[in-house]
Amino acid sequence: MTASLLEVTQLQTQFKTSDGLVPSVNRISFTVEAGETLALVGESGSGKSVTSLSIMGLIAEPGRIAGGEVRLDGVDLLQLSRREMRRLRGSKLSIIFQEPMTSLNPVFRVGRQIAEVIRKHEKVDKREAHRRSVDMLEKVGISGAERIAASYPHQLSGGMRQRVMIAIALACRPKLLIADEPTTALDVTIQAQILTLIRALSQEANTGVILITHDLGVVAEMADRVAVMYAGEIVEQAPVNDLFDRPMHPYTVGLMNSLPRLRERRDRLDAIPGMVPSLLELPQGCPFHPRCAYAEDRCRQIKPELLEHAPGHLASCHRAEEVKR
């Protein structure tokens, strides 16, 4: 059987604090195929962004990767040196952050920043790198690419800056692209354009995509498969249509029910009761049980395993077969 493009196995990422070790990512496993989009969803603090930084090798002190494997094309990224990881970033592995203004260098022109990525990973001269940077700006839907290439980031709109970030991320045709909340600060029209662009470019280059978002509407539009995270763990994983048709974890149902619906008149949106538990003091048993309407004695005592309840559909819930939306 052919190995997946990305294989994450039992990944653990911890942060050292004055109160103790915080298990921000706790033994999660998933795969991404070439040309596939996997969405990571969950509330803020669920571990989505820490997962992406762990894959990119960008966890800094006081954080550390405490265990597991992250294999890209069969190579365990966690065993590579910092120098080897720097070679991979931007070439085989790229990331789009949610706020381009803090990711782009304010003192360099846009074209130079794209060209630098190309020259770092490929043997081309300045003229060729500039030509390719302009081509990339055109490819991401920017008109007047030569003019934009000569501009500084502060001279561009938010949507334009995000397109520049996508151009940088895809300049060397990476095998895996991580998009971390890539449209959070953009209006709805620009958001749709950016998501369509990411999907089209990833399909063109057969690039695997990890899309990190809290927006289930974006998930329904973009993803092939979905992994739902809660308290640093994956609690449900399924093909996107299966997840929306029949969610098998109460937390997933809670996320779905909290969305507004155009055809229903409700005075208030449904909310998941309670609070996300502290990662330093996770409850015994299932970490979601204090907020769960399905909780029973075994949920409070025995932590459920992430098991397959239908083809390709995994959930960590003792009562997965009974969960209803």
Confidence of residue 77 (pLDDT cuts 50, 70, 90): very high
pLDDT tens for each residue of 98-129? 777 778 999 999 999 999 999 999 999 999 99
Give backbone dihedrals phi and psi of 28, rounded to 5 degrees, phi first: -95, 150
Residue 21: how many other CB atoms lie within 10 Å: 14
As a whole number of Å, the end-to-end CA separation of the chain is: 36
Nearest CA among 261, 257, 264, 240 for reference residue 324: 257
The residue among 262 and 188 whose pLDDT is bigger is: 188
Residue 115 pLDDT: 96
Q: What is the DSSP letter of 127?
A: H
As to burial, measured by CB atoms within 10 angstroms (0-12 exposed, 13-18 middle, 19+ buried), residue 288 is buried
Q: Which tokens belong to 10?
A: 């039992």
Query: Is residue 47 scored above 70 in pLDDT?
Result: yes
The residue among 190 and 300 whose pLDDT is bigger is: 300
Query: Is residue 184 scored above 80 in pLDDT?
Result: no
Residue 293 pLDDT: 93
Residue 30 pLDDT: 97
The residue among 181 and 311 whose pLDDT is bigger is: 311
Query: Is residue 265 scored above 70 in pLDDT?
Result: no
Q: From the centroid of its chain, how far is CA 115?
A: 26
Answer for the pair 305, 238: CB distance below 8 angstroms, yes or no: no
Q: What is the secondary structure of 242-293 as a DSSP string?
A: HHHHS--SHHHHHHHHTS--TT---SS-----S-PPPTTSPPSS-TTGGG-T
| Mean per-residue pLDDT, 160-167 | 90
| Mean per-residue pLDDT, 250-264 | 82
227: left (phi over 0), alpha (psi -120 to 50) or beta: beta
Alpha-helical (H) ranges within 23-109 are 48-56, 82-88, 100-103
Residue 322 pLDDT: 94
Query: Is residue 144 scored above 80 in pLDDT?
Result: yes
Q: How large a percentage of the chain has pLDDT more than 90?
A: 72
pLDDT tens for each residue of 166-181? 899 989 989 999 999 8
Cα(98)–Cα(164) distance, integer angstroms: 12
pLDDT tens for each residue of 198-244? 888 888 889 999 999 988 888 998 999 999 999 999 999 999 999 99
Output the CA angle 138-142-146, nearest 5 degrees: 70
Query: Is residue 88 scored above 80 in pLDDT?
Result: yes
Residue 262 pLDDT: 59
Residue 261 pLDDT: 67
CA-based torsion, 312, 317, 318, 320: positive or negative? negative
Of 31-45, 144-158, 193-207, where does mean pLDDT reach its minimum? 193-207
Cα(72)–Cα(75) distance, integer angstroms: 5
Q: Which run of H or E residues covers position 15?
A: strand 6-17
